[in-house]
Amino acid sequence: MAVVHRTTMQPTKLELLTEWLPTREWHAGGEARPERVGGFRLDDPAGEVGIEFMVVTDGEGDGVTAHLVPLTYRGEPLDGAEHALVGTSEHGVLGKRWIYDGTHDPVLVGQLYALLTGRAQAQAQSLSDVPDLTVAVSPQTAEGAEGEADAAGAELVRVEDGPDHTDVVLRTPGAAAPLTLRVRRVLHAGTDLDPGVAGVTAEWRLPDGTSVRGVFAAAVTGLGS
């Protein structure tokens, strides 16, 4: 179980994202002024890595865009992931933390796969040991990813950014071909999964305080080769 500490981070997550978001090809463009408006957490079974799916809004007026930013928090650098480093921050309880774009972190990817296969439970973003029941998961139907699959055996193969998404290709136990998880970077309220498609839908808040929901991630066939 991940423990959510009531403490400070210097710099804050949003301060780090202010610098990092404009460097992403899926960002709406211009200066970033992110505001956290939703998300959820997943537990690392080993208890070492913090995993958060954060939703931030950016822009003004009709140009407000909701971005999904999966993040991992580590007590030591992740080998070979310098390109995915969002920044470092001093945590008031845990000390120095290395914060990564979680789509490049095998722990987050493994737990996202576990969520899709019913082997992980979404957790509240700001509370310890409280399931987030607003996060909905459709059954995983992709080849090799049924309930008999070993979620811990998912292996990250590669990550590819697109104009509004990030494709995470992984190899799963017993599968004939790799599986692609498409993480939506630009969120759209009211969207839903196509029939038979495995994925995750969740909530975030609009600037007027209204709660909306849409697709956060989905299994995509035919892209993993």
Strands 35-42 and 50-58: antiparallel
Name the burial class of residue 176, with classes exposed (0-12), middle (13-18) and buried (19+) by CB atoms within 10 angstroms of its CB. Answer: exposed
pLDDT tens digit sequence for 6-55? 678 899 999 999 999 999 999 977 788 999 999 999 999 999 999 999 99
According to DSSP, residue 1 is labeled: -
pLDDT of residue 13: 95
- 83 or 176, which is more confident? 83
Mean pLDDT of 200-206: 96
In angstroms, rounded to a whole number, what is the distance separating the alpha carbons of residues 34 and 68?
11
> Which residues on neighbouring strands pair with residue 167, listed in sequence order?
160, 182
| Residue 31 DSSP SS3 | coil
Report the distance separating Cα 4 and Cα 119, nearest Å.
Answer: 21
- Separation between Cα atoms, residue 45 and residue 20, nearest integer Å: 28
Kindly report the pTM of this predicted structure.
Answer: 0.90
8 within 8 A of 89, measured Cβ to Cβ: no
Query: How far is the C-alpha of 58 from the C-alpha of 76, rounded, in Å?
Result: 30
- What is the rounded CA–CA span in Å between residue 137 and residue 48? 25
